[in-house]
Amino acid sequence: MGTVCVQQTVIDKSQPEEIYQVVGFSEYDNALHHLDRFVALSLPEELEVVDDILASRDEFSIYVNLSRRFETGGSSLDQQPLHPRDDFKRQGLTWVMALARVERAAMLAGFTSVTIPLPLEGVRDAEKPVLAELLLDAIRSHYWSMYHDPRMALLSQGKATSRQAFVVGRRVVMLRTMIKLVNGLAGDQFTPLQRSEMVRWSQSLNGVEQYAVRTVARWYALASRNDGLDYSTINIKTCPSLQRGIMASLSRGEATVVPRR
């Protein structure tokens, strides 16, 4: 229970950060495999003892509302403190497992073709609102950090490299997956204003993805026309979802050249 079977994917060996992400994914996935089994075999009283142990170990604390470090202009989706002295520190096994699920889901969305990156089978009801809270915080953090990223200006001006465009495109893929997941978990709890803002965010992400796809497609086609594909620059196979958009862009003739296969 809790184990995800991942189809074979491609990692760009010229980009060490992708290797680090895969290592992180392996750690989260392995931890969830064992923790899900542990929870299934434990009594409620035993899980309370685990929560007490975790509460005494600060390294297991989970900090939320990380998006507060960005200027949001008073977004309706901003997280409010539980009380005036809330330090946004959360503790307990539920929080630890929920964070691991969110991190694993992001990796599955950005690097594989898995259609259900966050399976809920066997997930305790108490964990689902925690998952929704962490997903929404991840959405806010990635959304606002993306719009503070200098690569966004280069992308909109048509000056981005294939690598810069691909990194932004992968972030969009992850964000759209998280938005779909949080809507499924807690969409009925959003106010009309929050739902409207989430729709606007999704629409803006569609535009960013189009910029990223067309930029990578242009570089991809140029490489094909010259000396063949240069995978040391960009390997579109490392993000299957983005790869589909790039190939579709090429097939529509938007980059004028069909790449070699």
Give the pLDDT score at 199: 95
Check if the beta carbon of residue 57 is closer than 8 Å to that of residue 89: no
Instruction: Please tell me the predicted confidence (pLDDT) of residue 154.
Output: 84
Q: What's phi and psi for 120, nearest 5 deg?
A: -105, 0
Tokens of 198: 């989430």
CA distances from 83 to 48, 62, 128, 129 (A): 24, 17, 22, 18
Show the CA angle centred on residue 105, arms to residues 204 and 82, nearest 5°: 75
Q: What pLDDT score was predicted for residue 149?
A: 86
pTM of the model: 0.84
Contact between 208 and 168 under an 8 Å Cβ cutoff? The reply is yes
List the pLDDT tens digit at each of the 261 positions of the chain. Answer: 455 444 455 555 666 666 666 677 888 999 999 999 999 999 999 999 999 999 999 999 999 999 988 877 789 999 999 999 999 999 999 999 999 999 999 999 998 889 899 999 889 999 999 999 999 999 999 999 988 888 888 888 888 888 888 889 999 999 999 999 999 999 999 999 999 999 999 999 998 988 888 888 887 777 666 655 544 457 778 888 888 888 888 777 665 433 333
- Determine the pLDDT at residue 88: 95
Per domain, the residue ranges of the chain are: 16-251
Is residue 189 within 8 Å of residue 199, measured between CB atoms? no
Instruction: Tell me the residue length of the chain.
Output: 261
**Which pLDDT value is given to residue 258?**
35
62, 91 Cβ separation under 8 angstroms: yes
